[in-house]
Structures are given as C-alpha cells and as structure tokens.
Amino acid sequence: MTDIPFDAIGFDLDGTLLDTHKDLGCAVNHALELGGFAQVPVDSSKDLIGGGAKIMLARAVEAQGGLPEDEFRPLYKAMLAYYAQNNAVHSRPYPGALETLDALAEAGLTMAVVTNKFESFATSILTQLGLADRFVTIIGGDTMGKGNAKPKPDPVIEARKRCASARFAFVGDSTYDVAAARAADVPVVVAAYGYCDKPPHELGGDAVIDSFDGLIPALRGL
C-alpha cells in the first residue's frame, strides 16, 4: 500500500462517497409539492444533482415553467428545512467505500470531504452514518464564503492545506469536481458510478473508475 503516490485524498460527497439521491429527491419533492408543482420520480433526481441544493431545486422548478425569485426563495427554504431533518434516511456509502477508506487510512493517507452541500448538512450525514471521524476536515459549499464553492479551486486548496498534504488527489463525479481540481492543480479521479453530468470519460479526469474497488489501483497509476 505504500506505493500510492499521495499522502492525502479529497472526496466529493454526493455521487462519490455516498449515494444520497433518494433523500435529496424527497426534499426536492417536498418543495415542489408546496409550490403546486408535480413531483419528480425520486430516481430521476440523480439528473438534478450537482452544484448544491439551490441549483438542484431550480432545475426541477425550471423544468415545469419556473418561478420568480421571490416565490422560489420560500420553496428553497422549505427544502432545506425538510432536508435538515431527513438527510440520512436512505443515504448510504457506495459499495466498497468503507473498505477503501480503511485501506487508505492503513496506508497512512489522510482524507477530506469537499462538497457543494452545506457544511452542516455534510457533517450531519457523515456523523449519522458513523463516518465523520474518518476525515481530517469536511468542507461544504458555504465553508469558503459565498461564490467560492466548486468549481472554484478554493475548497480543494483549503482541503489540501488542512490535510498538510504535499501530494494531494481528488475524487469526484461531476464537471464541478474536475474543474475545481484542475484549477487547484491536483490530479482528479472521476467516479463513473456517480451522478455524472457528462459522460464520465468526457469529464477530463486523469482516471475513471467504475466502482470504489478501482480507486487504489487508479491512484497508483497517476
């Protein structure tokens, strides 16, 4: 395991570490129902994920005609309130995630989470699932201040700093993840099993994995 050429790894959360689409989909549907919109099939909510909760709800609302900002805002607040109480009902680690995290830790790597989800939500979910202590830091979409979430490099750079890492890599499943890693000048592995907003091999990662079991071999090849 010492042949992994990195001393720290950053992970996106939704669609990379955890399959969260059902809880997110339920929160979106709660808001849609309040706004008089048709609910979306929960499984199709995968196509809405990426960029944070506000963008996710906006995509769902825009698909049904949209709303003025002053009418959208209370729906967004209702979605957040619902999600705060129901964010780990169905969400679970992807197959192989726990074993891979264990192997990376045993090899001496430190790990971080960098997500566009609010830091409080990310910490809540990981804590409820018993995973929070595995990470040196959990950086959310609001951690670095407004306008500094992925695809900006700031959260990835901050994660590397908090890990005191000389050799840092990132793992994610979206254009936001790849762009942030590229701008932060760190290698990036694309999780093809996630909620990719483009075909995985078109995202521009340094490697693509079909399951968590492929992560360590991919890191060795970078």
Q: Which is the catalytic residue, given 3, 7, 12, 154?
A: 12
Indicate if 185 belongs to the active site.
no
Give the pLDDT of residue 44: 80
Give yes or no for a contact between 170 and 189, defined as CB atoms under 8 angstroms apart.
Answer: yes
Give the pLDDT of residue 86: 97
Per-residue DSSP letters for the chain?
-TT-S-SEEEE-TBTTTEE-HHHHHHHHHHHHHHTTPPP--GGGGGGG-SS-HHHHHHHHHHTTT---HHHHHHHHHHHHHHHHHSSSSS-EEPTTHHHHHHHHHHTT-EEEEE-SS-HHHHHHHHHHTT-GGG-SEEE-TTTT-TT-STTSSHHHHHHHHHTT-SSEEEEESSHHHHHHHHHTT--EEEETTS--SS-GGGS--SEEESSGGGHHHHHHT-
Domains of the chain, with CATH numbers?
8-19+93-220 (3.40.50.1000), 21-85 (1.10.150.240)
Give yes or no for a contact between 60 and 40, defined as CB atoms under 8 angstroms apart.
Answer: yes
Amino acid at 147: G
Per-residue pLDDT, averaged over 188-197, amounts to 96
Give yes or no for a contact between 167 and 6, defined as CB atoms under 8 angstroms apart.
Answer: yes
Amino acid at 68: P
User: What percentage of the chain reaches a pLDDT higher than 70?
Assistant: 99
Per-residue pLDDT, averaged over 19-47, amounts to 92
pLDDT band at 2 (very low <50, low <70, confident <90, very high): low
pLDDT tens digits, residue range 74-118? 999 999 999 999 999 999 999 999 999 999 999 999 999 999 999
Higher pLDDT, 50 or 10: 10
The mean predicted confidence, pLDDT, of the chain is: 95
- Residue 1 pLDDT exceeds 60: no
pLDDT tens digits, residue range 36-58? 999 999 888 888 887 778 888 99
State how beta strands 92-93 and 18-19 pair. antiparallel
